[in-house]
Amino acid sequence: MKIILISAFLGCLALTQAAQADPKIKWCLKSDQELIKCTELAAKASDLACVKRDGSEECIKAIKEGAADAITLDGGDIYKAGLTNYDLRPIIAEDYGEDSCYYAVAVVKKGSGFKFSELHGKKSCHTGLGKSAGWNIPIGTLLSTKQIEWAGADDKPVEKAVAEFFSASCVPGATKGSKLCKLCKGDCSRSHKEPYYDYEGAFQCLKDGAGDVAFVKHLTVPAALKGQYELLCKDDTRKSIDEYKTCHLARVPAHAVVSRKDPALADRIFKLLEPLQEKGLFSSEGGSKNLMFKDSTKKLVKLPAATDFFLYLGEKYVDSIRPLKKEWSTDSTSGGIKWCTVGHAEKDKCDKWSLNSADESGNARIECHLEQSVEDCIRKIMRKEADAMAVDGGQVYTAGKCGLIPAMVEQYDESKCSVEGEASSYYAVAVVRKGSGVTWETLKGKKSCHTGMGRTAGWNIPMGLLHHSSGECDFSKYFSQSCAPGADPKSKLCALCKGGDKTVGGEEIKCRASAEELYYGYAGAFRCLAEGAGDVAFVKHTIVEENTDGKGPDWASKLKSTDFELICPKSSAPVPISDFSKCNLAMVPAHAVVTRPKSRSEVVTVLKEQQAKFGSDAPDAPFKMFQSEGGKNLLFKDSTKCLQEVPATKGYMDFLGAAYVAVMDSLRQCSVPELEKACTSHTCQQKA
């Protein structure tokens, strides 16, 4: 019996190892025509295998389960593949020459006489149910302009509302036998088995006279036929086919290759496709078009590793899809704002805030959401899954690159709380132990303590100065060891970090950019220095005073302010900590609350109301917004006296100031955080 079990185990192990060693990338195909093309490509690339499934959704499922590895999808399917039940990521984008975008247009025959606002009762041709240019954009537009009346999925399916709007349609993928399949020439399937499927199919539907309008992309009409067709514009005019830049329904992100969240697999897929670009990857034969990739593709562009469906598609596109979908509701049940927290200490404080924030109707004005990092919170705010959080200047810069704005700013001078427009600031300083002999000129090779990667006083300012003077970008080589929470836990930049007294979800919390790492944040970086782990701590100017001479938590109870000094590029010798105005690294902007532009007004209103109840002017309140228990600077800096409104006209660059932005731009010459890459890499989002 034991021999049989051992043999079975070894057999399973061999199969597992063989599967892991299998270098082939399994491409998912949706039709026999695509399978033929894939098989021909596989003859030129030994690492390519072909897997056929019935349609995009079956391919998405196969990739999720590991039966396939990749497929090229349009925006609507990228959205579906990115939702939590699949969690696939766009990894490579098609590029059509000008950029990686295309235009969704409504094409009609010249002289047919009707306007965009007169589509009711017409016959329509669509590329496919759930596809971008052929369904999501036109139907979303007709819903938002109230041409199609629809009370929501609880009333009736959106497909039924569309069927009632048009007299007849061909929407490949719709329910067979319905009005949405009435004009189709084949089986109405969302595949090349239906002659009116995809861009060329929808145009053929119009060309054959079956439909009155075709919803396609701007490159669909052949050059020889452009004179016979026109575009319907949303302003009820008509324009020539070549005037798509001023007459379109929306600018749409390019089709993209999607796969599982696996950077190594993404690298392998890109390496497989690169040589095939010159071997017929973007050409289709046998009477079919756009097999595997769009024929108009000029090249493939690898996407940043942090890209997900939302960052790729962009807010405008996702908002256009939302009226059609019921999978993703982001509405708050309380009518308040959703605050994003990092780490359990912040979540605990936020939960107390939420309990005390209820209005007269008993609804909480603050909802709390927990994430692993500030970057995760920025993503959540972008997606409307959270509304706001307070971050430091470096994080304001990243948030700004991702479309968020500063709405309120912390003020640390109580006398200025009643003065509008006088923004708060603080000094970034470098602290050493008295008598250590460490100076700014001798920092190379020393051990350093930082508040966190990408944070203002703890990273951006000192590293920007060091980069400017030394040209060094790899700061793990500049210092012998460091604690820079948020860095790679295996790197020297995390060697000095202490971790915490517990683990969360079984993961080590050492070097995590949250209050659970004992050396995180201002007080944590100073603690790293005070406990002898590091030789220098990069913090703000008030931190030594706040954690010495009997102030601060238990670990700081015996520390004296006179045991520490400041060093700076302006002085060859250390100076007392009280001389921060003369010996500092920079004056930097205060922490700010960031949010989406459209949520700014609501966030400001709620925070003004909340600080009236729980701010510094309410000493007897059951909750204190600007005091922390079980940690330091939780949600807001403990030195905050009030929050002040940032003018609506002030974007993140104006808020940070030219000098600080210049430091950030300099640092970005060394490296760009993955989230920023993902937020700024897409030309569709930047130019739309």
What distance in Å separates the CA atoms of residue 203 and residue 217, rounded to the nearest whole number? 10
3-state class (DSSP) for residue 318: helix
Instruction: Give tens-digit pLDDT for 498-547.
Output: 988 655 443 578 999 988 899 999 999 999 999 999 999 999 999 999 99
The mean predicted confidence, pLDDT, of the chain is 90
Least confident of 4-8, 140-144, 438-442, 664-668: 4-8
Q: How far is Cα of residue 188 from the mean position of the Cα atoms in its chain?
A: 36
Give the per-residue pLDDT at 7.
45
Per-residue pLDDT band for 663 (boundaries 50, 70, 90) equals confident
In whole angstroms, give the CA distance from residue 493 to residue 513. Answer: 13
Name 307's Cβ contacts closer than 8 Å, sequence gap at least 6.
89, 90, 91, 678, 681
Distance of CA 184 to the CA centre of its chain: 39
Sign of the CA dihedral running 57, 60, 62, 64: negative
Cα separation, 635 vs 623, whole angstroms? 13
Give the H/E segment covering residue 21.
helix 2-21
- Amino acid, res. 444: K
Asked if residue 93 has pLDDT above 90, the reply is yes
| Tokens standing for residue 18 | 């063989």
* pLDDT tens digits along 107-151: 999 999 999 999 999 999 999 998 999 999 999 899 888 899 888
Segment 314-354, tens digit of pLDDT: 887 887 777 676 444 444 444 799 999 998 999 999 999 99
Predicted confidence (pLDDT) at residue 179 exceeds the cutoff of 60: yes
Count CA atoms within 13 Å of residue 576 on its CB side: 6
Contacts of 649 (CB under 8 A, 6+ apart): none
pTM of the model: 0.79
232-257 as b/e, with b when 16 or more CB fall inside 10 Å?
A: bbeeeebbebebbeebbbbbbbbbbb
Beta partners for 231? 107, 239
Distance, CA of 271 to CA of 275 (rounded, Å): 8
Q: CA–CA separation, 43 vs 286, rounded Å?
A: 18
Question: Exposed, middle or buried, 328 (CB in 10 Å: 0-12/13-18/19+)?
Answer: middle
User: If you count DSSP H runs as helices and E runs as strands, how many of each does the chain have, helices first?
Assistant: 22, 26
**Residue 47: HSE in the Cβ half-sphere, 13 Å Cα cutoff:** 14
